[in-house]
Chain A
């Protein structure tokens, strides 16, 4: 499924958080959003998984207007891992994954064999079958993220939206999460902090600053020393990854802010 936003803007209490953003993620593509904190990445993603209604512009899933669909219908096409995923309540891992079936289930119907199968498969797919009976609140950060990916997969979506999925994870967990997401074969739209991880995994990058797209293209074309200086205010060197050939960045120092 391809995802498209056209001239999307979000305004909250007079502040324009997202301005006129048009982006495109083709079917099966892994698309990254990078940019400094507060640049509007999360706000943009929230309009795509319907936590926030855009002020103007539209989101299209395979050409269909997202906000013309029911929330259930769009949740069957598109799953998301929001940044905030805390709960006060002691759900088991199996219960958390089962929530992925909510958009497919009638309110009073029992879980079908297909529902149960889908959840078991999803948990196995992220290597977390052994966690099924554990309390979600007792898991480590990496385990939680795997379980949330399983929940997203249980939704049987055609695209996945992720907001900083590698936050607070150690390096092994970061690589694991991204390879699980990549391995799903779904269209992926994700915000990422770590530019080197973004360069390794993304087919396409959009650089966002102050709510606007300032650059887009394959990581190799986008992550230039000039852009890093302009957008992030840092001096960096580019090197080639000796094995994959992907562009990687070595950061030198902070640049003095122009006064």
Chain B
């Protein structure tokens, strides 16, 4: 599919979806009201006092939630691509580095035991991000060799740490014995955008935009790296050093994303493959399309998660799989997609 058509189309669809994300829900607002509130929020315009509750729903709850869904979806998709090239494994996803389960330890310490209470509403995302960085430092320290980071060691270390951190989290849930807290811990592990507010958008947005910029700048080097370290060296790319650079970027973005949304699975594994089926394996094309497709997917998945069984909210992870798997199977059946040479 030609990119000059695909990218603007996806961009337009994403913008329309953001508005839909703000409009769709249980409160029965008309679209003209929704648009007016969004405009008021964007332009700083005024509304009448009796409109405040509806305005709050649209501008303070739903819209930041849709924006955060877009940011998280874009981040996870792009990082999925980078991690797959970095460990040269088509089955890798952003969570294979063990960063997300590290973040979960911090998040659950807050949810279950009220750690960092002094930070108030910031406690959860701060704890998640800080423990993500700690997990990153640990994985790095264990996986590094004098020749830099090698793909297999990185995957093995990440996977081992993943189980280690998960064990700590499980133990914490087990030890806490607080019904509601255990439920929110579970919600967090499966991923949720329920905690979204304007406060949680900037950190994630800055991390994701920074990460995307770095990856776009590295797209050609990612191509070289995907062909193997030896080939990369012959093309003037120092694989060991580049992989360290990627590791830091991926870990920081994953940490920031996970801190605001929990561990939303599937997006970071499947969106990269879906996009490869659409535009091929060249990372310059992949990185132009994948963030938009990921954003689009997650906006709609989040809308579904809070409307399908309203007022009960489904974990996003359940729906990313429910929406994503059929789409993915369809794409795979239709294309002669060559997956790891098979």
Could you say which of A90, A155, A161 contacts B339, with CB atoms under 8 Å apart? Answer: A90
From the candidates B90, B221, B224, B230, name the one contacting A88 in the complex (CB within 8 A): B90
Q: In A149-193, which residues have CB < 8 Å from any B CB?
A: 152, 155, 161
Per the 8 Å Cβ criterion, residues 59-82 of B in contact with A are: none
Q: Are B227 and A96 in contact (CB under 8 A)?
A: yes
Q: Whole-angstrom distance between the alpha carbons of A137 and B281 in the complex?
A: 12
Known: A88-B340, A90-B276, A137-B341. A75 touches B216 (CB 8 A): no
Q: In the complex, which residues of chain A have a beta carbon less than 8 angstroms from the beta carbon of B226?
A: 87-89, 91
Give chain B nearest CB distance to A139 CB in angstroms: 11
> Which residues of chain A are within 8 angstroms of B210 by Cβ–Cβ distance?
none
CB distance from B314 to the nearest CB of A (A): 33
Given A88-B341, A107-B217, A108-B217, are A71 and B228 also a contact pair (CB < 8 Å)? no
* Contact A102-B89, Cβ < 8 Å, known A50-B233, A51-B233, A75-B235: no
A73 nearest in chain B by CB position:
B236
Asked if B88 is at the interface of the complex by the 8 Å CB criterion, the answer is yes
When the two chains form their complex, are residues A103 and B89 in contact, meaning their CB atoms are under 8 A apart? no
- List residues of chain B with CB within 8 A of the CB of A86: 228, 341
A-contacting residues, B274-297, CB 8 Å: 276, 280-282
**In contact, A71 and B236 (Cβ under 8 angstroms):** yes
> Does the CB pair B340–A51 fall under 8 Å?
no
Q: How far is the CA of A135 from the CA of B84 in the complex (A)?
A: 19
CB under 8 Å from chain A, chain B span 189-229: 216-221, 223-224, 226-229
Annotate B229-255 by CB proximity to A: 1 below 8 A, 0 otherwise: 111011111100000000000000000
Indicate if B113 sits at the interface (CB-CB under 8 A).
no
In the bound complex, CA of A132 to CA of B221 (Å): 21
- How many chain B residues touch A (CB < 8 A): the figure is 34
Q: Are B228 and A85 in touch, CB under 8 angstroms? A: yes
Set of chain B residues within 8 Å of A155, measured between Cβ atoms: 235
Task: Confirm or deny: B337 has a beta carbon within 8 angstroms of a beta carbon on chain A.
Answer: yes
CA distance A79 to B220 in the complex (A): 17
Interface centre among B223, B224, B281 (most CB of A within 10 A): B281
When chains A and B are docked, how far (Å) is the Cα of A89 from the Cα of B227? 8
Complex Cα distance, B81 from A89, in Å, reads: 11
How far apart sit A75 and B341, CA to CA, in the bound complex (Å)? 28
A56 interface residue (CB < 8 Å to B): no
Distance, CA A161 to CA B234, complexed state (A): 9
B54 to chain A, nearest CB (A): 44
Residues of B within 8 A of A105 (CB): 220
Instruction: Give how many A residues have a beta carbon under 8 Å from the other chain's beta carbons.
Output: 41
With A74-B236, A75-B235, A75-B236 known as contacts, the answer to whether A99 contacts B281 (CB < 8 A) is no
Chain B residues, Cβ within 8 Å of A161? 234
Are B236 and A107 touching (Cβ within 8 A)?
A: no
Flag whether A76 is at the interface (Cβ < 8 A): yes
- Please tell me if B48 contacts chain A, counting CB pairs below 8 Å: no
Closest partner residue, chain B, to A105 (CB atom)? B220
* A108 pairs with B216, CB closer than 8 A: yes
| Least CB distance, A134 to chain B, in whole angstroms | 11
- The one of B89, B90, B234, B282 in contact with A75, judged by C-beta atoms closer than 8 angstroms, is B234
Q: Check if B88 sits within 8 Å of A71, measured CB to CB.
A: no
A95 at the interface (CB under 8 A from B): yes
Compute how far the CA of A71 lies from the CA of B229 in the bound complex, rounded to whole angstroms: 13
Q: What are 23 A-B interface contacts by the 8 Å CB criterion?
A: A46-B233, A49-B233, A50-B233, A51-B230, A71-B238, A79-B234, A82-B230, A83-B230, A87-B88, A88-B84, A89-B85, A90-B281, A90-B338, A91-B223, A99-B224, A102-B224, A102-B235, A102-B236, A107-B217, A108-B216, A137-B341, A155-B235, A161-B234
Identify the 7 closest CB pairs spanning chains A and B, nearest first.
A75-B236, A82-B230, A80-B234, A51-B233, A103-B236, A72-B236, A90-B338
